[in-house]
Structure formats: structure tokens, C-alpha cells
Copies of this chain bind each other. A is one copy, B any other.
């Protein structure tokens, strides 16, 4: 089955377009988890604690969400052992039937982009044969280098039934500095969006959406709505909900009339739920995974209600 069709089926089956962002820093991991972990270096201990934390979160939420997004920066932070925790987390999430989005924002010239695509989506050539290194489902890609920096990822999508989300309009405060510059009567992000649509044409699934998606921040609701109109076959990965300030109403513009077309990422609001009101009053740090599930279910209800309120039949 096409990966993008499987994502859509998972969203419908679980009645939830929420993606949990495993942006796990060591400081988020409660002490009782860290104390159980050992390793030959402080980074190995940290990486092991982060993987244990992630496993517990995945166990608590996998029945309620279609996918996880793993932000690789928070694993590179702990050196090679951190990257091993990244790999194991992706593998574990897949074993629970989840789709795995690697938030890696990689980009480079063609030959180097090919190495990234092989590492994260495809297989690594060895002296005898080939072997996958990280084997994710989707990755995020930065478009600044243009088509030949993106093509190797698209090639890997074709070959291995994978997908990408290309940065179009990012969620950060200064994203407009370059992305909003006026270019030939449009904005730069519109020009990037045009290319994403073009790239996506030959990689369509059977349910109206392409394997080549776009990242659009929840913090820019007007642009989200505008781009939904310009990119009818492009799935959106929407970060910026929750801790970054995007509300459930802000993300509504990303959905189509069937409640599809968008996955909403929530990271800190879910994985750190046990440290935040109202959950910290109900759950102790020992129950961090239960707090995460409670927040996921709360967010699911909130999105479902908002979709109905906006006249969109939720699945």
C-alpha cells in the first residue's frame, strides 16, 4: 500500500490527525527513569534514559495516534549514543504500527543529498549488498538548494515507498525574513510551494494526496489557509501547536472538507504533560506516560470538536 494512503487510513481509523513529537531532552526524563539506566559514558546513560522514556510514551499513546515525529537534533545532542537512541526509537514506534516522521531538515547538493536519502529513507551501499541505516517513513527536507538537492529524496521515496515534507512556511517568529520576501508578485514561500506541487505530481497515492508533503507552521493560520487552496494534493505537517503558541483554531485552515490533508504535531505539550497544568495536578512524574496519553486524548477531542464546529465532518 502507498505510504501516504496508509497515513490517511491510520488517521481515519484512529480518528486523530495528531502526531506526537518525541523531542526528548534528558531534562524531560524523570529521575526515576534515569536512575534505572546505565552505560559506559554520560551520553550512553542519557541515550538509554531517553529511549526508555520514549518507549513508555509510545506504549501509552500508540493506539490513539497515526504517527510520531522524532526531532533528530535532540538525539545528535547526545553524540553517537544519542543517534542510536534515535534509531531504536524509530524502530520501536514502527513495531507498534506507527508511521515514523524523522524531523531532520536535511539538505545539500545532489551527491550529498543522496547520502542523506540513503541514510534516512533508503539503504546504504556496502562492499557486499545494501542495508538500511535509520529506515524512517517520512523525513523533512529544506528546499534552499533547489530541485537537485531534493531529487535524491524523491528518488528514494519512489524506490522505497517513502515520503518527505518540504519546509515551505516554518513556524518560527522570523520565518518571514526570507520566506515572505516578495518575488514576482508572490512570496518566496509561494514559489517553494509551487515547486513542491510540481515535485509531488509523479508520486501520488490513490486517495488524492502525494508522498511529497509540506511543512507549514500552525503559527501562521492565514498562510496555512492560503496554501491549502494552492496545494490541494499536498499533505501538510503542521508544527507549532501548543508550546509554540498555535491553537486548535489556528490549524483548521490546513484541513480539507473531509478532515484530511493535515497532521498536527504536538511535542512538549504531550511529552512534558506531567510537568504542566492541568496534568501535573493529577499525575506524578512516575506516571509521565499516563499524563502524555491524557493530553493526547484531550487534544484529539479538541481537534474533533473544532473540525465539527468548522463544518468539517471528522472522518
Contact = CB atoms under 8 A, between A and B. Distances in A.
Interface residues of A, number: 71
B26 A126 contact: yes
A147 B174 contact: yes
Contacts of A127: 26-27, 31, 34
Chain A interface helix/strand/loop/mixed: helix
A257 interface: no
A73 B116 contact: yes
Interface stretch (A74-82, A154-162, A295-303): A74-82
A79 B122 CA distance: 12
A302 to B, nearest CB: 23
A192 to B, nearest CB: 7
A176 B144 CA distance: 9
A211 to B, nearest CB: 21
A97 interface: no
Contacts of A25: 115
Contact of A178 (B46, B80, B146): B146
Contact of A124 (B78, B118, B124): B78
Number of copies of chain A assembled together? 2
Contacts of A106: 73, 105
A126 B42 contact: yes
Contacts of A109: 170-172, 239, 244
Contacts of A71: 108, 112, 115
Interface string A101-123: 00001111110110110111000
Contact of A181 (B175, B177, B183): B183
A12 interface: no
A284 to B, nearest CB: 19
Interface string A184-216: 100010011001000000000000000000000
Interface in A45-100: 46, 71, 73-74, 76-84, 87
Contacts of A79: 83-84, 87, 119, 124, 133-134
7 contacts: A25-B115, A71-B112, A76-B120, A77-B124, A79-B133, A80-B83, A82-B133
Given A76-B115, A76-B120, A79-B87, 7 more contacts: A71-B108, A76-B83, A82-B133, A105-B142, A145-B170, A181-B184, A181-B191
